[in-house]
Structure 1
Amino acid sequence: MYPYLDHEGPIAMAHRGGALHPDNVGYENSMHAFEQAAGLGYQYIETDLHATRDGVVVAFHDHRLDRVTDRTGVIAQLPWSEVRQAKINGHEPIPLLSDVLEHFPEIRFNLDIKADNGVQPAARVLREHDAIDRVCVSSFSQARVDLIRRELGERLATGFGQREIARLRFAPYRMVSRGACLQIPEYYGRLRVLTPGLLRRAHALGKQVHVWTVDDPAAMHRLLDAGVDGLITDRTDLLRDVLIERGQWVRS
């Protein structure tokens, strides 16, 4: 068992800090959002990682600054001295991964590495902060997942990469993975990703299944009834209410 997954009951994870909580709209992946999730009692927060041109790792989803900040440009092409001037929703600075780890020492973070140039800088920060046991690293890219595993070793909890998810879904007889958990949507377009068979096979291998991004209370109840191990949500207020109703909310 990875220390990251040592938790009583279903894992409730704040996606980008709870991007659609009424108090967070416009402030995804900001210290404001992370503080709000921690204040609700969330023990797990999901965030995304990019590295600047000079290798500084920031908690930010998009490749570009344009959508959620008052600046423009591709993060990987800009130095930190420029990225640090951008403000989320015109007010909040973009957090450094190092600052997030230091400010929330009791929180476990799910880290989605969004670009190839972020893998080794992120590994360096995690080593420097002795944070390997309280993070799970995931990525849409199987190559990034494989690389971070090589960089940080077997102690690190990782999500399945896309190739591993497909193998477990369609060719389980070939399944070998160091991944600790599957972090998947219920549907990807018209394709149903989460099936009873996939959930059963994952559990047979001792792997947890976390479903994203679930913002509807009825869907939360349905997925928890089906036996998933965690839900990743933008509506941190609603998931908290659902888990309280079910007697499954574990406050930090």
Structure 2
Amino acid sequence: MTLVFAHRGFSALYPENTMIAFKKAGDAGADGIELDVQLTKEGEVVVIHDEKVNRTTDGSGYVKDLTYSEIKSLNAGMNRKSEVPSLREVLQWLTENQLICNIELKNNVFAYAGMEEKVIKLIREYGLSHRIILSSFNHNSLVLCRRLAPEIETAALLSQQIYQPWVYAASIGVQGIHPKYVHLSDDTLQQSLANGVAVRPYTVNKGKHMRRLFHYGCTAFITDDPAYAVSLRRNLNNPHFGV
């Protein structure tokens, strides 16, 4: 069965990368959530997508230049009060359910020394290694994660087409690829799956695209609207649903 992962939580309806968005994704029937992590000035792991806080909060400046307390004082909900969660808060919540969690390491712009070790330590502390996927556009970071924690699944984020990504995945020791949906051909999808490589494209919001992925038995896909995706999966035998 093709799984449904909520992109930064249920981000179609709720503030991205907030606890309300993650909880609503679970309520909607998502199989997993996707989130992004960065480090504060003193090295705390927080859940936020952009290198700057400007777009998603009422603050300004780089995450790396703000202290944890400064980050926590920001409103990430705009119209509704929501804090920027720490990774620890999310992992604690995950112990109360069975959701899978794709943690994207946002270290392709800033290196964030020690990020891999900090994230892995937290995952192990909460006993969640079997329900976590670590992904990144920084593939050097994924190789390091694989060395540090071979028990945690890793997946390479791909923003462009690459030749035989299943071969590339094997070469760097990751178990999955997370390609940009528009670059995922039928052949690449089928060949990757046939070679034992998990495929979870991003960001898939149109019904016709979801139907294609369900048809080919894609491992999972990442969507802003998990409720719609789950409903479509439930109604696959109805050709008029979600057109």
The two structures share one fold, judged by TM-score above 0.5: yes
Equivalent of residue 139 in structure 2, options 139, 142, 157: 142
For the structure 1 residues 132 and 174, does the alpha-carbon distance in structure 2 shift closer, same or farther, using more than 3 Å as the test? Answer: closer
Equivalent of residue 152 in structure 2, options 153, 156, 160: 156
For the structure 1 residues 177 and 143, does the alpha-carbon distance in structure 2 shift closer, same or farther, using more than 3 Å as the test? Answer: closer
Q: Say yes or no: does 1:64 pair with 2:52.
A: yes
User: How many angstroms apart in 2 are the aligned matches of 1:46 and 1:141?
Assistant: 17
Equivalent of residue 131 in structure 1, options 128, 132, 136: 128
1:122: how far off?
Answer: 1.3
1:210: how far off?
Answer: 1.1
Q: Say yes or no: does 1:215 pair with 2:212.
A: no
**Could you tell me which residue of structure 2 aligns to residue 45 of structure 1?**
33
Q: Say yes or no: does 1:101 pair with 2:97.
A: no
Q: Which runs of 5+ in 2 are unaligned?
A: 238-243
Question: Percent identity over the alignment?
Answer: 26
**Could you tell me which residue of structure 2 aligns to residue 230 of structure 1?**
220
**Could you tell me which residue of structure 2 aligns to residue 112 of structure 1?**
104
1:215: how far off?
Answer: 0.6
SS of aligned partner of 2:146: helix
Counterpart of 2:28, as a letter, is L
1:89: how far off?
Answer: 2.6
TM-score with structure 1 setting the length: 0.83
Q: Say yes or no: does 1:239 pair with 2:232.
A: no
User: How many angstroms apart in 2 are the aligned matches of 1:245 and 1:151?
Assistant: 42
Counterpart of 1:100, as a letter, is V
For the structure 1 residues 174 and 121, does the alpha-carbon distance in structure 2 shift closer, same or farther, using more than 3 Å as the test? Answer: closer
User: How many angstroms apart in 1 are the aligned matches of 2:100 and 2:143?
Assistant: 21
1:124: how far off?
Answer: 2.1
For the structure 1 residues 128 and 213, does the alpha-carbon distance in structure 2 shift closer, same or farther, using more than 3 Å as the test? Answer: same
1:51: how far off?
Answer: 1.0
Equivalent of residue 70 in structure 2, options 75, 82, 103: 82
For the structure 1 residues 237 and 141, does the alpha-carbon distance in structure 2 shift closer, same or farther, using more than 3 Å as the test? Answer: same
Counterpart of 2:48, as a letter, is F
1:196: how far off?
Answer: 2.6
Q: Say yes or no: does 1:186 pair with 2:181.
A: yes
Aligned-residue RMSD, C-alpha:
2.3
User: How many angstroms apart in 1 are the aligned matches of 2:210 and 2:39?
Assistant: 33
**Could you tell me which residue of structure 1 aligns to residue 21 of structure 2?**
33
SS of aligned partner of 1:103: helix
Q: Over residues 166-185 of structure 1, what are the superposed CA-to-partner deviations in whole Å (9 max), with x where a residue is unaligned?
A: 3524x949953421211112
For the structure 1 residues 175 and 136, does the alpha-carbon distance in structure 2 shift closer, same or farther, using more than 3 Å as the test? Answer: closer
1:76: how far off?
Answer: 1.1
Q: Say yes or no: does 1:16 pair with 2:4.
A: no
1:234: how far off?
Answer: 0.1
**Could you tell me which residue of structure 1 aligns to residue 241 of structure 2?**
none
SS of aligned partner of 2:156: coil
Q: Which runs of 5+ in 1 are unaligned?
A: 1-8, 188-192, 248-252
For the structure 1 residues 220 and 32, does the alpha-carbon distance in structure 2 shift closer, same or farther, using more than 3 Å as the test? Answer: same
- On the 8 A contact 1:158/1:180 being kept in 2, the answer is yes
Runs of 4+ in 1 over 3 A off after TM superposition: 171-175
Q: Over residues 196-236 of structure 1, what are the superposed CA-to-partner deviations in whole Å (9 max), with x where a residue is unaligned?
A: 33223212221121111011112111222233221110011
Q: Which moved more, 1:72-81 or 1:123-132?
A: 123-132
Counterpart of 2:23, as a letter, is E
User: How many angstroms apart in 1 are the aligned matches of 2:210 and 2:7?
Assistant: 14
- On the 8 A contact 1:58/1:94 being kept in 2, the answer is yes
